Structure 1
Amino acid sequence: MSEKPLPFIYQFISGAVAGVSEILVMYPLDVVKTRQQLDSTNAYKGTIQSIKKIVAEEGFSRLYKGISAPILMEAPKRATKFAANDEWGKFYKRVFDVPVMNQSLAVLTGATAGATESFVVVPFELIKIRLQDKTTKFNGMADVTKDIIKNHGVLGLYKGLESTLWRHIWWNAGYFGLIFQVRGLMPKPKTSTEKTLIDLTCGSIGGTFGTIMNTPFDVVKSRIQAGTTTKYVWTYPSLVTVAKEEGFGALYKGFIPKVLRLGPGGGILLVVFTTCMDFFRGIHYKE
C-alpha cells in the first residue's frame, strides 16, 4: 500500500473507534449467535425467530444484555487487531526481506495479529458469554468477574484462551488475507466515495470468509467458556465431540447471525478504520 505510515497511537485510536462503531450496530446478532451456539435442543432455529423469541420471553433489552463487556473490550480488541496487523506486517517484511506485502505475508500477518488480539479479549469474551447465556444468574460484569475470581482465581478469567486463539487466528488470517486479494482485483479509487465503497466491499467479503473459516472454533469456544459442562476443554477434541454427538452441521450453529454481523461488520470496521487513519494522516503530515 502507498499510504504513509503512522505512529502506533494513531493505529490504536483508529482501531478503537472502528470497533465501537461496529459493536453498537451489530450487537443483537452476537447475542443470537451465542444463544444458538449454546443451544443443544434447537430452540433457537433461525435469526429472526430467535430475535422474536428473546424479545417475547425476556424483553427487548435482552438483545443488549452483556454489551458493557464488549463495549469495554472493543476498543482494545479492534485497536490491537489493526495495530498488530500493521506492526506484524512491518516485522515480517523485514524478516523475509520483502519490500511490499504479498498474499502469503498477508495471511501470516493476519494470523499472528489474531493470536496477539486473543490475549486482550479472553476475559471480556468469557464475561460476555456468561451474561448472554439464557440461564445466567448474573446481573452484570461485576457479578461475573467476582464469581470467576472467587471460584477460580484471577487466571480463571482466561478460561478458553486456547480456543480463543484458534478462533482469532483463523478469522484474521481469512479476513486480512482476503482483503489483500480482493483489493488487488479492484480498480484504483479516484474519489473518496469510491475508496469507501471499495473498503466496504473488501471488508465485507473478508469478514464473510473469515466467518466461514472460524465458526466451528467459535462454537466450541462458546461452550468451553459457558462452563456448563466439563466435556468441552480443548478445541480440536471439542470439535470432534460436537460433530460426533450433534452432526457436522452443529459446528456451524449461529453461522447466519454471525455472518450477518461480521460480513457487513467487517466492512464497517475497515471503512471506519481507514477513514480515521486518513484523518490522522492528514493531521500528522500537516504538522
Structure 2
Amino acid sequence: MFEGDESHDGELPGEDDYESLLPAASFVTHMVAGAVAGILEHTVMYPVDSVKTRMQSLQPDPKAQYRSVYDALRRMVQTEGPLRPLRGLNVTVLGAGPAHALYFACYERLKTRLSDVIQRGGNSHIANGVAGGVATVLHDAVMNPAEVVKQRMQVYNSPYRGLWDCVWRVWSAEGPAAFYRSYGTQLLMNVPFQAVHFVTYELVQERLNPRRRYRPASHILAGAAAGAISAGVTTPLDVCKTLLNTQEGAALGRTRRGKGGGGHLTGMVDSARTVYRLGGPPAFFKGLWARVIYQTPSTAVAWSVYEFFKYSLTGQRLEGGDRVGPNSFYAADWRGKR
C-alpha cells in the first residue's frame, strides 16, 4: 500500500497498536537487543581479541613476538594449548551483557531526543555522535573492570589461574582502584571511537537503507565499515589502555617501574610516555591489523544481531504485509505527524 508513496499524509495502519507498544516496550527492547548483540560481538571474534592484546604487549620475550595474526594464533595454540585464545572469555560475557544493554538503550533514547531538538525528528549526525559518546560513559563504567581482568588473563605468561584468582590477586595487591585505573584512557579512546562508529554507521545506512527498513545486508555492511574505521583511528589510545590494564611486569621493569622501581603506571600520559620510551612512534600502532580484523566482523555482528532483535521484538504488520519497527522510515515519519 505504501510502496513508492512519498507523501505519507495519512496515518499508519495499526497506529493505535503501534503507539501503545512503543512507549512500553522500546527501552526494554533496546536493552535486550543490546545485551544479546554485545555478548555475540565480544565472543564471535574473541580469539582475535586475544591476539590483539598479545601484539600490543611490550613484552620483550622472543616467545611473545608475533609476525601476524595467524602466526600468533598458531603459536598460542601449539605452545599453550587449544583453549588459550579463549582465556578470559567468561569475564567478557559477564561484563558485555549489562554494558551493552545500557549502551544501546542510552544511544537510542538520546539519539531520538537530540534529533528532535536539532533537526525536528530527522536524522542528525551531531545527535548520533553525542548520543554515542554519552552511551560510552555508561558502557565503560560497567565494562572497564571486566577489561582489566580479561587483558591480564590474555597476556603472555599470565600468572593467574582463573577469573576469581585474578580478581582477588589484583584487588589484594593493587586495591579496587586498579579496576578503574584505565577508565579515563578508556573513555578518551572510546568516546571518539563510538562517535566515529555511530556517525559512520548512520551515514552508510543513509546511503544503503535511507528508509531505515530492516535490511540485514545494509546493517552488516554499515557495521563493518563503522568498526574498521573507528578501530583504525583509535589504535594508539588502545595500546596505552592495554598497558594500563595489564601493568606488565616486564615492561615496567625495563623502565625501572617494577618492584622497587616506582610502582604502577597511573594514567594516559604516563602510559603514552612508557610506550614511546620502549618502542618509539611505531609502538603506538602495535596490533593495528589485529584490532581492525577483530572490530570489523564483530561490529557487523553486533549491529545485525541488534537490529534483528529490535525488529523481531517490536516489528508491527502494516496493511499490505509491510513490517515496521520504532526506528524505521515510516515510524519516524509518523512520529513527526503526531
Shared fold, TM over 0.5: yes
Q: How far apart are residue 97 of structure 1 and its match? A: 6.7
Is 1:218 aligned to 2:238, yes or no? yes
Among 287, 296, 308, the alignment partner of 1:275 is 308
Q: Which runs of 5+ in 1 are unaligned?
A: none
Q: How far apart are residue 152 of structure 1 and its match? A: 3.1
Contact 1:89 1:105 in 2 (8 A): yes
Among 248, 253, 268, the alignment partner of 2:286 is 253
Q: Give the whole-Å Cα distance in 1 for the aligned partners of 2:159 and 2:113.
A: 45
Give the residue type in structure 2 aligned to 1:167.
M
Q: Residue 77 of structure 1: SS of its match in structure 2?
A: helix
TM-score, with length taken from structure 2: 0.76
Q: Give the whole-Å Cα distance in 2 for the aligned partners of 1:147 and 1:95.
A: 49
Query: How do 1:100-249 and structure 2 match up within 5 A?
Result: 100-188=122-210, 195-228=215-248, 229=252, 230=263, 232-243=265-276, 245-249=278-282
Structure possessing the higher radius of gyration over alpha carbons: 2
Q: How far apart are residue 185 of structure 1 and its match? A: 1.6
Q: How far apart are residue 136 of structure 1 and its match? A: 1.4
- Aligned-pair Cα RMSD in Å: 2.7
Q: Give the whole-Å Cα distance in 1 for the aligned partners of 2:166 and 2:204.
A: 41
Q: How far apart are residue 81 of structure 1 and its match? A: 2.1
Give the residue type in structure 1 aligned to 2:109.
E
Q: Give the whole-Å Cα distance in 1 for the aligned partners of 2:41 and 2:80.
A: 24
Query: How do 1:1-40 and structure 2 match up within 5 A?
Result: 6-40=25-59
Q: How far apart are residue 58 of structure 1 and its match? A: 0.4
Cα 1:91–1:238 change in 2 (3 A) is farther
Q: How far apart are residue 187 of structure 1 and its match? A: 4.5
Q: Which runs of 5+ in 2 are unaligned?
A: 1-11, 13-17, 253-262, 318-323, 326-338
Cα 1:111–1:130 change in 2 (3 A) is same
Higher helix share: 1
TM-score, with length taken from structure 1: 0.89
Cα 1:197–1:234 change in 2 (3 A) is same
Give the residue type in structure 1 aligned to 2:34.
G
Give the residue type in structure 2 aligned to 1:225.
N
Contact 1:70 1:128 in 2 (8 A): yes
Superposed CA offset, 1:16-66 (max 9, x none): 111222223100000000011113447122101111111111011101011
Give the residue type in structure 2 aligned to 1:267.
A
Number of residue pairs the alignment of both structures matches: 283
Among 59, 66, 70, the alignment partner of 2:88 is 66
Q: How far apart are residue 7 of structure 1 and its match? A: 2.5
Q: Give the whole-Å Cα distance in 2 for the aligned partners of 1:117 and 1:167.
A: 13
Cα 1:122–1:246 change in 2 (3 A) is same
Q: Give the whole-Å Cα distance in 1 for the aligned partners of 2:225 and 2:144.
A: 26
Q: Give the whole-Å Cα distance in 2 for the aligned partners of 1:153 and 1:231.
A: 12
Q: Give the whole-Å Cα distance in 2 for the aligned partners of 1:79 and 1:191.
A: 22
Q: How far apart are residue 271 of structure 1 and its match? A: 0.3
Give the residue type in structure 2 aligned to 1:142.
W
Among 81, 86, 89, the alignment partner of 2:111 is 89
Superposed CA offset, 1:171-194 (max 9, x none): 2111101011111122547985xx
Cα 1:165–1:152 change in 2 (3 A) is same
Give the residue type in structure 2 aligned to 1:117.
H
Contact 1:35 1:132 in 2 (8 A): yes
Contact 1:174 1:213 in 2 (8 A): no
